[in-house]
Structure 1
Amino acid sequence: MALAFDSSDGDYWKEKVISGGDTEKGDVDYDDELELNQFDGLPYSSRYYKLLRERKTLPVWGARCDFVNTLVSSQIIIVSGTAETGRSTQIPQWCAEFCLSVQYQNGMVVCTQIHRQNTVELALRVADEMDVNIGHEVGYSIPLQTCCSTDTVLRYCTDDMLLREMMSDPLLEQYGVVVIDQAHERTVSTDLLLGLLKDILLQRPELRLVILTAPSSSDRLLHHYSDVPLLRLEGPQPSEVVYDSGKEGIKDYLCSTLRLVLGIHHTQEPGDVVAFLATEQEIECAYAILRREAASLASSLGELVPVTLYPEKNDSVPMPAEEENTCRRVFLTCSPSEDLFWAVRSIRFVIDAGVQMRYVYNPRIRANSIVIRPISKSQAESRKQLIGPTGKCFCLYPEDTPLPAESVPHILESDITSTVLFLKRMEIAGLGHCDFVDRPDPEGLMQALEELDYLAALDDDGNLSEIGIIMSEFPLEPQMAKTLLASCEFDCVSEVLIIAAMLTAPSCFLTPPVALAHEALQCHRQFQHVDGDHFTLINIYNAFKHAKQYLCCSLEQWCEERFLSLPALQTADAVLSELTDTLKRIELPISPPAFGSKTNTANIKRALLAGFFMQVARDVDGSGNYFILTHKHVAQIHPLSVYGTEAPKQSLPEWVIYHKHTLSENNCVRIVSEISPYEFIQMAPQYFFSNLPPSESKGILQQIIDHGSAAPCKGKKKPQTMDSTATEEPSYERCVIQ
């Protein structure tokens, strides 16, 4: 029968669970009325009972009674265990039952994840286990996609989506239980949630917070929340782990990985392989070698299929079709997270290089550096769990290697300008305090505040200005949000929307095999624009939209022939729609398209400089060595740029604006467009210009301000101006939006 809850303290729910309230299919008398689903009032299906038997075999099930008791009596619970314990699927369901027991008086349940695809897959699995329809009682929200309704009682969402919700619901009043999953990953968004929820819990005593984390992070969280209840889950132990016998580990782990993969395929039983490498370059190299080796393997061994998985480009593992079940897939990834593979039951072998790549932001030079470092103990243990009870894990490092207990929190190594903008917005909403688990670096915090001040997002008292409030409405980095606002003034909104969408989505350029590299370059050149890469992105998007509307061939074929990524372009299309809706909601004007005219080109550059004036560089010697004005570093333009390695040296622009600079082996600036010094002077705030370190480039700009002209450097053309009147009577008024 349907359950009738009338207790406000959860006693009935607790009693039902402790007494074993779930009913097995064999216990149902089909001559009587079938037991009804407590969430939708319909009879349970036979599949529900089948899945229930599977659920009861999970390690987390043994802790159900303890969890129930603790949830009723405590406001915060920390649950320590690995993903293989079943914590991510079962605990949110029990929280939903808890909220149902009090008639949802305090709200529903939300469970955060860090990967979009995991969010969707968990919601689908839990809806199946609860015997309800996805999008109704169980739903999900990820960037650019929401599958929920007014009936939703349990919602999975990415951590950044829950933060966006807090802008309109700062106390999360629609939720009775907040579940923070994968807290040990320490993403910036998860750390923000952990810090803000500490304040929210004080204002909402009825709210429950459940934190799911790995064993290595539990002590740190216990200290942060002052010794709250902790439930420890014991997961299955890996059957066999093989460590490197050397004292210093394997230095050439890429070659060792490839040898192991081929050895496994020749001698071991069927099963997929996951190889954790460090960089995308290693993945590409391994993929090419395995493809070549697989072509020469004997058919009796079965097919060997390498699969590349890049972090941030694709966070889902492709499921095999039925006809592919006989092949052995080799997943090559440099993702630091093993949670991508939680649902892949065919994995039998793991090869762990024991190192990872991290982007570490340097606030002094406003650039990321690529750092290769050891993985944490938590990551190492989680990777071993992937093999299940019958697999084998090969660790390419000695067993006594001193791995760090935890990974460095992302908030300590990231550009936190967007984070500070969000926290300033939360101050307006009444959440003035964020008790960080690990406080951001003071230098990074000061740089973020300085940058927001340059962007006119802060007033004289350090609070959000009107411009800052509008900037925070957009799911964009602050510089791009400021650029979009400036485009409203310069009547180029349609074009800047495309640029913002294309730069927010993953790169649309596919990396082809070496044999097709020249052909791909030729295809990409047809989209290149003389004024720079930002304009090239507009060309690509417009061509994609034209193909979508008018061409007879499929979009997959169109993109494949041009070495473009269809998922990336579809994501850009969705981002553009979301940004357009935001502009309409806050009643900002959207100018009609005018791409191609000289006025429109100049206006786009003005809008870009309004947000990215801190990212300007000058070619100091005419050979492509670009001096970055803010921190005196010299970088080159990325080879795939309009001004890349194959461009004639005499055609290189002297002054450029760029989107991204990463200090790595190639030390390149990416997404580069030509500007003139007059445009820079007009758009950069005076106090930013004054704070630039002394240099020859700054001297040239100062000479333009003082005298209205500049002596061109030897071998360089005189900087072009925005229009015919700029040389005769340059105007140095700052942009109105400043």
Structure 2
Amino acid sequence: MNLDKVRKSLPIYRIRNRLLEEIQKNPTLILLGETGSGKTTQIPQYIHESRPKLKGLIACTQPRRVAAITVAQRVAQETNTELGKTVGYNVRFEDCTSAETKIKYMTDGMLLREAISDPLLSRYSVIILDEVHERTIHTDVLLGIVKSAQQKRQNSFKLKVILMSATMDVDEFSNYFNKAPVLYLEGRQFKVDVFHSVQEQTDYIFSAIATVFQIHKTVPPNEDILVFMTGQEEIDSTVKTISELNKSNSKLAPMLVLPLYAALPSGKQLKVFEKAPNGFRKVIISTNIAETSITIKGIKYVIDTGMIKGKLYTPQNNLEMLKVHKISKSQAWQRTGRAGRESSGICYRLYTESEFEKMSLNTIPEILRSNLLSVALQLIALGITDLVNFDFISKPSTEALNSALNDLELLGAVKKNFQNENIVEENVNKKRIISYNYELTDIGRKMAYFPLDPKLSRCILTADKLGCVEEVLKIVSILSVDNVFHAQTNTSNKRDQAEAVRQKFVSADGDHITLLNVYKAFLANKSSASEWCSENFLDLKNLKLAVEINKQLKEICNRNSIKLSSSTNDSVKIRMALISGFFMNAAEYQKENEYKTITSRQIVQIHPSSVLFNSKPACVLFNELVKTNKTYMRDVSVISSSWLLETNPCYFKSKLKNLADNLNTYDLNNRIR
């Protein structure tokens, strides 16, 4: 393949010189380039080729690791250099760069972590923020950080900023960067025919599987299919179903059915880019990870379920949940475009035209619907002390920010200093507003080292004091991956068998110690891991990923003088360490299987997947709340209410009066076990 000829055939090549002129004369440039235009692979190369002795790196951020890796591989190939030399990438737990690197592809989260130690981002001369329309939390925070660094570097080593997307609200971004100019670029999008469902689909998974087989029966096997689903369990189940149905019908051509989602190990993610064996049709079942940036060759058909799984957070009751909901119109068009990257294609939308018209135009930014605990810690670690007045492109509610700051203060990560006091006129009343600056404590500084939810980081630091770091790291690692237990829903016999096998790992202390037992047993049977996982109805991929995460967390502990202590048989110490991070997630038994959270006094129940589902412990700790028709606690452990007082006496003294007031409504016979 003549790569130089391929590069010159891309639509972006026609405006190469003008593009470089605009980058030279403007501090910030916005590029709206259609899918297939070549912007992600070519612009960093153009800048490097025109200014080979440019001081500083050229960074190009991506919302997802698979995009950063695959684009870096492509650009290294085009520049005829070894990956990790002139062109490299940096994603979570994997750094493929060197002192020679000039073009660096990276996830936006990794650049944000670099900013903690270098707020001016002084290693970089050009920062390209790609796929900004996705509006992840990291992207939104990074926009503010990059804008601040650019302003502070105006009189020294200047920073160029380029924002790129195939679809975005250009006015919002342009205004945010002081009326930055916008360049529009036509893509190399081939024609895609779009077909909508005639009627609303009640089961989009079944409809997607049926559509796959309708296509498979009627078109040549070298034309591949991409199906959009919402999450790992849904995808793994669909992959299994399609594979088994295909194998059971000898008249059909064989299929290579592959999953694609963020938690999948890199090696397995990259399999979707490999050519299928001769005579096989490649069918990829993916989350929205395949909507942007990555190009999977051979895709001719897209099946869009119209659904996505996203976060939803309400600060009033500290409830964060993952909820399956409709995509936006911009996402629908992004998905459609996946069928027209190399030739004309077809997109089957499993929703009606009227449903499409009711969709919102753009995706609601993640920062407006998420718990801001991690964001707040990162910003304060960057030296930004007044979060309420931070220059967000889409400002979260003051309530959500204050909730995160209060939680960080309770975790011991920050302390507040009085800033000023204002009297605000509100209708006919006057309201007294006191504002504070926040700064990191020593504990908070250590918490910021870990790429984890601050609550989990706090657990690790307490484990250091209690002498059980090894055990807590294992639990944190396994909580950082999707469910390690296979959901057996095919037959009642399989479910009973899986439940019987699971009992060998179950601890009466709850889910956390149960997960620790699973992790230890997996390590003990590592030589026959695949067979052992199959026998025990455990997910090999997720357990391997947990081991990899554990390895990286140990390295962070070693770098920060956290001793890898162990307390093998002391589950009390382990649960005490967990309480230090999750003491706000405690609940007491009421009656009729109901619990009430100590913090917000919500009625909750233990999730059916918990090993404690049929128990009624007096007091429990949980990791998260999930809301369906009821509000459930997930990842639950038995604790003592006295441990709560011991771990955070100041916090719980303020709750004691409420507890005392409600004590006479409790059924004490049910509370004592």
TM range (shorter): 0.7 to 0.9
Residues 250 and 571 (structure 1), Cα distance of their counterparts in 2 relative to 1, 3 Å cut: closer
- CA-to-aligned-CA distance 1:115-155 (integer Å, 9 cap, x gap): 11221111111101110001111111111111111111111
- CA-to-aligned-CA distance 1:31-79 (integer Å, 9 cap, x gap): xxxxxxxxxxxxxxxx6xx111112222222221121111111111111
Moved more, 631-640 or 108-117: 631-640
Alignment-derived partner of residue 509 in structure 1: 485
C-alpha separation between the residues in 2 aligned to 1:126 and 1:365?
A: 47
Query: Displacement of 1:249 after TM fit?
Result: 5.0
**Contact 1:303/1:327, CA 8 A, preserved across alignment:** yes
- CA-to-aligned-CA distance 1:562-596 (integer Å, 9 cap, x gap): 333334333333333333333333333442x2211
The equivalences for 1:220-619 within 5 A come to 220-244=172-196, 246=198, 249-250=200-201, 252-270=203-221, 271-278=223-230, 283=235, 286-287=238-239, 290-291=242-243, 293-299=245-251, 301-310=252-261, 312-313=263-264, 316=269, 318-319=271-272, 324-335=277-288, 338-339=291-292, 342-388=294-340, 389-395=343-349, 396-398=351-353, 401-427=357-383, 434-461=390-417, 462-512=438-488, 514-515=490-491, 516-548=494-526, 551=527, 553=528, 555-591=529-565, 593-596=566-569, 600-619=570-589
C-alpha separation between the residues in 2 aligned to 1:534 and 1:561?
A: 22
Query: Displacement of 1:350 after TM fit?
Result: 1.0
Residues 605 and 376 (structure 1), Cα distance of their counterparts in 2 relative to 1, 3 Å cut: same
Q: For residue 215 of structure 1, give the secondary structure of its aligned residue in structure 2.
A: coil
Query: Displacement of 1:636 after TM fit?
Result: 2.8
Alignment-derived partner of residue 154 in structure 1: 103
C-alpha separation between the residues in 2 aligned to 1:169 and 1:272?
A: 45
The equivalences for 1:9-88 within 5 A come to 50-88=2-40
- CA-to-aligned-CA distance 1:330-365 (integer Å, 9 cap, x gap): 33334375137x331111111223333322011122
C-alpha separation between the residues in 2 aligned to 1:430 and 1:370?
A: 29
TM-score if structure 1 supplies the norm length? 0.80
C-alpha separation between the residues in 2 aligned to 1:520 and 1:347?
A: 37
C-alpha separation between the residues in 1 aligned to 2:381 and 2:238?
A: 45
C-alpha separation between the residues in 2 aligned to 1:494 and 1:282?
A: 32
C-alpha separation between the residues in 2 aligned to 1:280 and 1:474?
A: 25
C-alpha separation between the residues in 2 aligned to 1:322 and 1:346?
A: 8
**Contact 2:590/2:666, CA 8 A, preserved across alignment:** no
User: What are the ranges of 5 or more consecutive residues in structure 1 without an aligned counterpart?
Assistant: 1-46, 704-709, 719-738
Residues 310 and 149 (structure 1), Cα distance of their counterparts in 2 relative to 1, 3 Å cut: closer
**Identity fraction in percent:** 31
Q: For residue 263 of structure 1, give the secondary structure of its aligned residue in structure 2.
A: helix
> Is it true that 1:173 corresponds to 2:147 in the alignment?
no
Residues 460 and 121 (structure 1), Cα distance of their counterparts in 2 relative to 1, 3 Å cut: closer
Residues 667 and 286 (structure 1), Cα distance of their counterparts in 2 relative to 1, 3 Å cut: farther
- CA-to-aligned-CA distance 1:310-344 (integer Å, 9 cap, x gap): 4545683633766634222333334375137x331
Alignment-derived partner of residue 185 in structure 1: 134
**Contact 2:625/2:631, CA 8 A, preserved across alignment:** yes
Alignment-derived partner of residue 85 in structure 2: 136
TM-score if structure 2 supplies the norm length? 0.88
**Contact 1:55/1:61, CA 8 A, preserved across alignment:** yes
C-alpha separation between the residues in 2 aligned to 1:188 and 1:456?
A: 24
**Contact 1:355/1:372, CA 8 A, preserved across alignment:** yes
Alignment-derived partner of residue 16 in structure 1: none
Q: For residue 85 of structure 1, give the secondary structure of its aligned residue in structure 2.
A: coil
Alignment-derived partner of residue 733 in structure 1: none
**Contact 2:90/2:107, CA 8 A, preserved across alignment:** yes
- CA-to-aligned-CA distance 1:200-220 (integer Å, 9 cap, x gap): 111223211111113333232
- CA-to-aligned-CA distance 1:262-316 (integer Å, 9 cap, x gap): 22122233312222245667656655653454244352x3124544444545683
Moved more, 537-546 or 477-486: 537-546
**Contact 1:81/1:234, CA 8 A, preserved across alignment:** yes
Alignment-derived partner of residue 89 in structure 1: 41
**Contact 2:36/2:189, CA 8 A, preserved across alignment:** no
**Contact 2:300/2:345, CA 8 A, preserved across alignment:** yes
Residues 429 and 449 (structure 1), Cα distance of their counterparts in 2 relative to 1, 3 Å cut: closer
**Contact 1:244/1:250, CA 8 A, preserved across alignment:** no
RMSD: 2.9
Amino acid aligned to 1:150 = A
- CA-to-aligned-CA distance 1:435-486 (integer Å, 9 cap, x gap): 2110112221111011011112222413222222222122221111111111
- CA-to-aligned-CA distance 1:647-669 (integer Å, 9 cap, x gap): xx4x4322111112111246432
User: What are the ranges of 5 or more consecutive residues in structure 2 without an aligned counterpart?
Assistant: 418-437
Larger Rg: 1
Residues 430 and 357 (structure 1), Cα distance of their counterparts in 2 relative to 1, 3 Å cut: closer
Amino acid aligned to 1:390 = S
C-alpha separation between the residues in 1 aligned to 2:25 and 2:273?
A: 45
C-alpha separation between the residues in 2 aligned to 1:211 and 1:320?
A: 27
**Contact 1:99/1:176, CA 8 A, preserved across alignment:** no
Residues 296 and 609 (structure 1), Cα distance of their counterparts in 2 relative to 1, 3 Å cut: closer
Query: Displacement of 1:689 after TM fit?
Result: 4.5
Which one of the candidate residues 659, 669, 692 is aligned to 2:633?
Answer: 669
- CA-to-aligned-CA distance 1:581-614 (integer Å, 9 cap, x gap): 33333333442x2211xxx322222211111100
C-alpha separation between the residues in 1 aligned to 2:386 and 2:311?
A: 33
Q: For residue 411 of structure 1, give the secondary structure of its aligned residue in structure 2.
A: helix
**Contact 2:585/2:622, CA 8 A, preserved across alignment:** yes
C-alpha separation between the residues in 2 aligned to 1:449 and 1:250?
A: 43
Alignment-derived partner of residue 642 in structure 1: 611
Alignment-derived partner of residue 427 in structure 2: none
C-alpha separation between the residues in 1 aligned to 2:544 and 2:255?
A: 31
Amino acid aligned to 1:208 = K
Amino acid aligned to 2:113 = R
**Contact 1:274/1:347, CA 8 A, preserved across alignment:** yes
Residues 276 and 578 (structure 1), Cα distance of their counterparts in 2 relative to 1, 3 Å cut: closer
Query: Displacement of 1:98 after TM fit?
Result: 4.3
Q: How many residue pairs end up in the alignment? A: 641
Which one of the candidate residues 630, 655, 669 is aligned to 1:714?
Answer: 669
**Contact 1:629/1:692, CA 8 A, preserved across alignment:** no
Query: Displacement of 1:194 after TM fit?
Result: 0.6
Residues 712 and 264 (structure 1), Cα distance of their counterparts in 2 relative to 1, 3 Å cut: closer
Which one of the candidate residues 600, 620, 629 is aligned to 1:656?
Answer: 620
Higher strand share: 2
Residues 168 and 321 (structure 1), Cα distance of their counterparts in 2 relative to 1, 3 Å cut: closer
Residues 175 and 457 (structure 1), Cα distance of their counterparts in 2 relative to 1, 3 Å cut: same
Amino acid aligned to 1:509 = F
Residues 141 and 191 (structure 1), Cα distance of their counterparts in 2 relative to 1, 3 Å cut: same
**Contact 2:273/2:296, CA 8 A, preserved across alignment:** no
Residues 479 and 194 (structure 1), Cα distance of their counterparts in 2 relative to 1, 3 Å cut: same
Q: For residue 266 of structure 1, give the secondary structure of its aligned residue in structure 2.
A: helix
